[in-house]
Amino acid sequence: MKADKFDQAFDDGQDVSDVLDVSKARRPQQAQRRVNGDFPTWMIERLDEEASRLGVTGQSIIKV
């Protein structure tokens, strides 16, 4: 499938997963490394509020 047809099919909401070869897919620059950080209290409170609103953990919000 040519790229323009693929793009159009995707934009039209069609399932294009059957034409993708994900056997060699990779996510460059996605290596993880643990770091520690200090945040102001107001920021932690806002992060917790947003996490609660979205139904996820505070750690998930910080990762995003």
Q: Residues 3-61: pLDDT tens digits?
A: 999 999 999 999 998 998 889 888 888 887 888 989 999 999 999 999 999 999 988 88
What's the alpha-carbon Rg for the chain, to the nearest Å?
A: 19
The verdict on residue 23 lying in a domain is no
The pLDDT assigned to 61 comes to 87
Give the separation between CA 61 and CA 59, rounded to whole angstroms.
5
The verdict on residue 12 lying in a domain is no
Domain count across the chain = 1
Model pTM?
A: 0.48
The verdict on residue 48 lying in a domain is yes
Q: What percent of the chain has pLDDT over 70?
A: 100
* Dihedral pair phi/psi, residue 10, rounded to 5°: -65, -45
The verdict on residue 5 lying in a domain is no
The verdict on residue 27 lying in a domain is no
The verdict on residue 3 lying in a domain is no
Give the structural domain span for 61: 38-64
Mean pLDDT, the chain, rounded, equals 90
